């Protein structure tokens, strides 16, 4: 039985528990977790507050060494951690290895940041006075993450937050508790001191109440949240009441525009991977393919062919995608399938909905009835009037629509109001730059799919996808540090800014 880790110690097992099961074999329990309450979460923030005091004084290059050790341990345990990811959230093993690599890459980037964390020396307008800037840790960071990327996305928050000298309270998804526990152990063995990283397993209601209590008590200085737009906006409201700006990484309805001059097979390959990879459960998964009318029929034909041929099934094998993460995701996807209407045509598999003996999929790898497996589905003919066009789907479904002029395609791409990732397949540079300027997305791919961002570019979105915060690379430093400015007057007298400034008279009447 896993229980929360606060101040380096497991808290006693409580009455409320959760069973995390293998979505490929739902009868198999991967982890049993004891769920903490709101007061535990607030208590963890208090412990973090105390631990942060000493951690902030550890020189940043030394904190960088801890991050380096995390990276080494993650690499040394890459296969083992990837196996846990595959088993608990059903991610195909090759993708799970990629996800673990993303943690190592994040460490590789930030271990060097420990020797930078640059501030500036800035000239003063007066003599014998010097100006400086310093990056200071914000304090205690509360991180709440989803389980579709159970180790990579948490690392995007936790690694830079720790490197910058913050203490962290992490609330992972309870349905990815075994992944979270393995992740914590790697960090603890790398030398992260007790109390500097705390893990609290709790359900959504208790987490929200715990955050409320901790914010009221002044124990949290920054909230990082990856999850739904709906919950993100509630967290934004809560933080706003405490004059805080959370780092919100929310949903997406990521468009892919395929222009008349595009490399069509490349676009089809990109659509297949970003629509169905991770069973469509990435926040960067493809939502709608917006295809020039001259290529539309051929695009649908080729994508249908590719989806039918794609291996689906047991994620420990070589498959395009495995099961949905758990019952909640499966129920959500069933609702999405209900949005398919009479104006649509479906493609991509030998059936739609759950794969069973009665609704089989040709070439399925494994026993479909044992897990939460769904047919991939391509829905042609979606438009702005359809829920399927507007809402995030989080499952193996791709919408397709046709367009005539590029500006119409861009308007369609922006219409759902998200703005996470967007892609364009084209061979015309003018279209690339017009698209880039007009698209609402925080991340744009050219001749590449909507998913698969690299771990050192700014990650994040606009509109319903977030509040403009960016993770990863040097950009995330602004989430986990605050600038402090300092001025030092060593003239020995009071020099008044803007008033006691030397003036040099120009001859502005001069003309050649």
Matching residue, tokens 């991050």: 67
Taking the least distance from each CB to ligand UN1, the nearer of 180 and 283 is: 283
Site for ligand UN1 in 449-508 (CB under 6 A): 451-453
- Report which DSSP code applies to 199: E
Site for ligand UN1 in 83-112 (CB under 6 A): 102
Paired sense of beta strands 443-446 and 421-425, if any: parallel
User: What is the smallest separation between the CB atom of 29 and ligand UN1, expressed in angstroms?
Assistant: 25
Q: How many CA atoms lie within 13 A of 454 on its CB side?
A: 7
Question: Which of 55, 110, 149, 183 is close enough to bind ligand UN1 by CB under 6 A?
Answer: 149
Tell me if residue 32 is catalytic. Answer: no
The window from 13-21, 146-154, 211-219, 428-436 that contacts ligand UN1 (CB under 6 A) reads: 146-154
Please return the burial class of 483, using the count of CB atoms within 10 Å of its CB with bins 0-12, 13-18 and 19+: exposed
Catalytic residue among 75, 249, 408, 505: 249
Instruction: Tell me if 148 contacts ligand UN1 by CB under 6 A.
Output: yes
Q: Are 409 and 401 in contact (CB under 8 A)?
A: no
User: What is the smallest separation between the CB atom of 364 and ligand UN1, expressed in angstroms?
Assistant: 25
User: What is the smallest separation between the CB atom of 485 and ligand UN1, expressed in angstroms?
Assistant: 35
Taking the least distance from each CB to ligand UN1, the nearer of 368 and 442 is: 442
Taking the least distance from each CB to ligand UN1, the nearer of 156 and 373 is: 156
Taking the least distance from each CB to ligand UN1, the nearer of 102 and 174 is: 102
Instruction: Tell me if 352 contacts ligand UN1 by CB under 6 A.
Output: no
Show Cβ contacts of residue 206 under 8 Å, excluding neighbours closer than 6 positions.
Answer: 35, 36, 37, 38, 41
Taking the least distance from each CB to ligand UN1, the nearer of 17 and 228 is: 228
User: What is the smallest separation between the CB atom of 209 and ligand UN1, expressed in angstroms?
Assistant: 25
Give how far Cα 194 sits from Cα of 6, 10, 55, 201, 218, Å.
8, 11, 10, 17, 21
Cα–Cα distance for residue pair 265/455, rounded to 1 Å:
27
Paired sense of beta strands 345-347 and 377-380, if any: antiparallel
Show Cβ contacts of residue 305 under 8 Å, excluding neighbours closer than 6 positions.
Answer: none
Taking the least distance from each CB to ligand UN1, the nearer of 191 and 452 is: 452
The DSSP-derived string for 27-41 is EEEEEEEEPP-HHHH
User: What is the smallest separation between the CB atom of 100 and ligand UN1, expressed in angstroms?
Assistant: 12
Question: Which of 229, 284, 414, 423 is close enough to bind ligand UN1 by CB under 6 A?
Answer: 284
User: What is the smallest separation between the CB atom of 146 and ligand UN1, expressed in angstroms?
Assistant: 7
Terminal C-alpha separation, the chain: 85
User: What is the smallest separation between the CB atom of 357 and ligand UN1, expressed in angstroms?
Assistant: 32
Question: Which of 82, 283, 290, 397 is close enough to bind ligand UN1 by CB under 6 A?
Answer: 283
Work out the widest C-alpha separation in the chain, in whole angstroms.
Answer: 91
Taking the least distance from each CB to ligand UN1, the nearer of 149 and 480 is: 149
User: What is the smallest separation between the CB atom of 148 and ligand UN1, expressed in angstroms?
Assistant: 5
Label residue 205 left, alpha or beta by phi (over 0 means left) and psi (-120 to 50 means alpha).
alpha
Taking the least distance from each CB to ligand UN1, the nearer of 440 and 451 is: 451
Give how far Cα 307 sits from Cα of 49, 349, 440, Å.
51, 7, 29
Site for ligand UN1 in 221-240 (CB under 6 A): 226
User: What is the smallest separation between the CB atom of 227 and ligand UN1, expressed in angstroms?
Assistant: 9
Instruction: Tell me if 192 contacts ligand UN1 by CB under 6 A.
Output: no
Q: Are 395 and 417 in contact (CB under 8 A)?
A: no
Cα–Cα distance for residue pair 381/291, rounded to 1 Å:
11
Instruction: Tell me if 282 contacts ligand UN1 by CB under 6 A.
Output: yes
User: What is the smallest separation between the CB atom of 177 and ligand UN1, expressed in angstroms?
Assistant: 18
Question: Which of 6, 153, 262, 279 is close enough to bind ligand UN1 by CB under 6 A?
Answer: 153
The DSSP-derived string for 290-331 is EEETTTHHHHHHHHHHHHHHS-BB-TTSS-SB---SSHHHHH
Cα–Cα distance for residue pair 312/363, rounded to 1 Å:
8
Nearest alpha carbon to residue 20 among 40, 5, 1: 1
Cα–Cα distance for residue pair 292/402, rounded to 1 Å:
6
Would you tell me how many other CB atoms lie within 10 Å of the CB of residue 28?
12
**How many positions of this chain bind ligand UN1 (CB under 6 A)?**
11
The alpha carbon torsion through 468, 216, 181, 327 (nearest 10 deg) reads: -70
Matching residue, tokens 């979460």: 41
Site for ligand UN1 in 384-403 (CB under 6 A): none
Paired sense of beta strands 345-347 and 197-199, if any: unpaired
Taking the least distance from each CB to ligand UN1, the nearer of 452 and 468 is: 452
What the block records as the tokens of 367 is: 């026993």
Instruction: Tell me if 198 contacts ligand UN1 by CB under 6 A.
Output: no
Taking the least distance from each CB to ligand UN1, the nearer of 327 and 454 is: 454
Express the helix, strand and coil content of the chain in percent, nearest 5 each: 40, 20, 40
- By CB under 6 A, name the binding residues for ligand UN1: 102, 148-149, 153, 226, 282-284, 451-453
Any idea which residues carry the catalytic annotation? 249
């Amino acid at each position: 039985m896993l229980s929360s880790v606060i101040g380096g110690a497991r808290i006693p097992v409580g009455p409320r528990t959760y069973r995390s099961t293998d979505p490929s074999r739902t009868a198999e329990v991967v982890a049993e977790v004891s769920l903490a309450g709101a007061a535990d979460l607030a208590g963890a923030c208090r412990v973090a507050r105390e631990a942060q005091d000493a951690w902030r004084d550890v020189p940043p290059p030394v904190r960088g060494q801890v991050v380096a050790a995390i990276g080494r341990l993650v690499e040394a345990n890459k296969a083992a951690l990837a196996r846990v990811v595959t088993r608990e959230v059903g991610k195909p093993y090759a993708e799970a290895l990629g996800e673990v690599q993303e943690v190592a890459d994040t460490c590789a980037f930030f271990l060097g940041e420990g020797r930078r964390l640059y501030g500036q020396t800035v000239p003063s307008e007066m003599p014998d006075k010097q100006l400086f800037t310093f990056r200071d840790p914000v304090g205690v960071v509360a991180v709440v993450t989803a389980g579709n990327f159970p180790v990579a996305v948490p690392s995007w928050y936790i690694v830079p937050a720790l490197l910058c000298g913050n203490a962290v309270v992490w609330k992972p998804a309870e349905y990815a508790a075994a992944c979270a526990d393995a992740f914590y152990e790697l960090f603890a063995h790398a030398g992260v001191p007790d109390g500097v990283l705390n893990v609290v397993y709790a359900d959504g209601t208790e987490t929200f109440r715990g955050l409320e209590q901790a914010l009221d008590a002044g124990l949290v200085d920054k909230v990082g949240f990856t999850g739904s737009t709906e919950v993100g906006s509630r967290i934004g409201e809560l933080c706003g009441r405490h004059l805080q700006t959370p780092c919100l990484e929310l949903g997406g309805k990521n468009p892919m525009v395929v222009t008349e001059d595009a490399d069509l097979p490349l676009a089809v390959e990109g659509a297949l991977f970003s629509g169905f990879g991770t069973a469509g459960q990435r926040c960067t998964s493809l939502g709608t393919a917006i295809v020039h009318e001259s290529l539309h029929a051929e695009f649908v034909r080729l994508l249908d062919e590719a989806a039918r041929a794609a291996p689906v099934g047991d994620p420990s094998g070589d498959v395009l995608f495995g099961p949905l993460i758990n019952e909640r995701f499966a129920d959500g996807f069933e609702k999405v399938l209900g949005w398919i209407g009479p104006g649509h045509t479906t493609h991509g598999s030998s059936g739609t909905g759950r794969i069973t003996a009665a609704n089989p999929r040709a070439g399925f790898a494994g026993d479909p009835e044992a897990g939460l497996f769904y047919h991939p589905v391509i829905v042609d003919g979606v438009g702005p009037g359809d829920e399927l066009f507007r809402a995030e789907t989080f499952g193996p479904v791709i919408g397709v629509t046709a367009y005539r002029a590029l500006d119409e395609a861009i308007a369609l791409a922006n219409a759902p109001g998200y703005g996470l990732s967007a892609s364009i397949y084209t061979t015309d540079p003018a279209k690339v730059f017009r698209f880039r300027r007009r698209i609402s997305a925080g991340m744009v791919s050219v001749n590449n799919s909507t998913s698969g961002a690299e771990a050192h570019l700014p990650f994040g979105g606009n509109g319903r996808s977030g509040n403009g915060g960016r993770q990863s690379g040097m950009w995330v430093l602004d989430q986990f540090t605050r600038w402090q400015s300092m001025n030092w007057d060593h003239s020995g007298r009071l020099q008044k800014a803007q008033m006691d400034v030397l003036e040099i008279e120009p001859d502005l009447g001069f003309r050649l």
